Structure 1
Amino acid sequence: MATPKFILDLRTKIGHDLLWLTGITGVVLNDADEVLLVRRADNGRWSLVAGILEPGEQPAVGLIREIQEETAVEAEIVRLVSMESLPPASYPNGDRVQFLDLCFRCRPLRGEPRVNDDESLDVRWWPLNDLPDLTDRERASIENALSPDPMPVYVTP
């Protein structure tokens, strides 16, 4: 994922210190029981569409932007699936981050999936019964998005 300019600007001031960011993830499901996945250019893994909110950007608007930028698919938000604070992470250059991730269930409106930026190597629909190797968190996000319970998942005290 390309580093947004606002983060590069912050890094000039805070160096590698922990930076708290808002992440957005989309579980885009079509009527054929398939999920839209991207094969990331940075690590070669298949993944849900995800990104970072720009300052002041609304989460649903930012996710729709990310889906279109990465896959050329126009989508709409169906519902909020989950809110969770992810563990801190470090990048090879020493930058430290921690994300509050907002995951949404989405549905496609129009457009055929294709690589639409330099962040992805491949983009395609995957049958839910034949998914590639995904992280446990991504599999849980898909499972939560498929749940008939409309309430978002979040950690409670």
Structure 2
Amino acid sequence: MTTPEFVLALREKVGHDPLYMGGVTAVVVRDVPPGAAVWEVPDVLLVKRKDSEEWTPITGIIEPGDEPDDTAVREVWEEAGIDARVEALLGVGQVGPVTFPNGDQAYFLDTSMRLSQIGDARPRVNDDENIDVGWFTISQLPPMKPRFRLIIADAVAQMKRPAGYRPRMGYHKRSTHPKD
């Protein structure tokens, strides 16, 4: 999916000035099958973005009236052509400032979630935002931004030890306590 219509309408009014929007990061994890060797690790679904040629988990903008979990499921379908379900909240934090190639600026309040695939369809590039898609073992990820590595690690930690996992509150944690 390209830039949502509501963002285009806002951009007509504010130009390239910063917008603050809701976003999602959908980390689709495929666990190792039961009985697999101890050294086997889960896979994560990544897309290679057309605009930056960077590998990332699936991301998207929450449209007015949508819930973050519904947006995550929709974005996985739109970008990779597979059905998925949300399994867990990984965290919430600010992303940005982001400056897009056309000069638009934005900040995102990002909700990151771990998802699992429904069925066994092979992922495919299903939109015009990406140029490649595939499963990567978490021990051999391609180069990517530290935030994405962090949230992928969180996804696996939450999957392996759900009772002890606490969702991350902020990706660039700085104290806001007045005494700090």
TM-score by length of 1: 0.94
C-alpha offsets along residues 45-78 of structure 1, whole Å, 9 cap, x if unaligned? 1110111011110100011000011101111001
Q: Are 1:26 and 1:49, in contact at CA under 8 Å, matched by a contact in 2?
A: yes
2:77 is aligned with 1:54: no
Deviation at 1:126, TM superposition (A): 0.4
SS across alignment from 2:125: coil
Deviation at 1:43, TM superposition (A): 1.4
CA distance, structure 2, for counterparts of residue 140 and residue 126 of structure 1: 15
Q: Which 10-residue stretch deviates more, 131-140 or 85-94?
A: 85-94
CA distance, structure 1, for counterparts of residue 43 and residue 102 of structure 2: 36
Identity %: 39
CA distance, structure 1, for counterparts of residue 52 and residue 99 of structure 2: 15
Unaligned runs of at least 5 residues, structure 2: 33-41
Runs of 4+ in 1 over 3 A off after TM superposition: none
1:45 to 40, 49, 54: 54
Unaligned runs of at least 5 residues, structure 1: none
What pairs with 1:104-143 in structure 2 (closer than 5 Å)?
104-110=113-119, 111-143=121-153
TM-score by length of 2: 0.82
CA distance, structure 1, for counterparts of residue 135 and residue 21 of structure 2: 28
CA distance, structure 2, for counterparts of residue 82 and residue 113 of structure 1: 25
CA distance, structure 1, for counterparts of residue 139 and residue 16 of structure 2: 41
Which has the larger Rg?
Answer: 2
Deviation at 1:13, TM superposition (A): 1.2
Q: RMSD of aligned C-alpha atoms?
A: 1.4
Aligned residue pairs total: 157
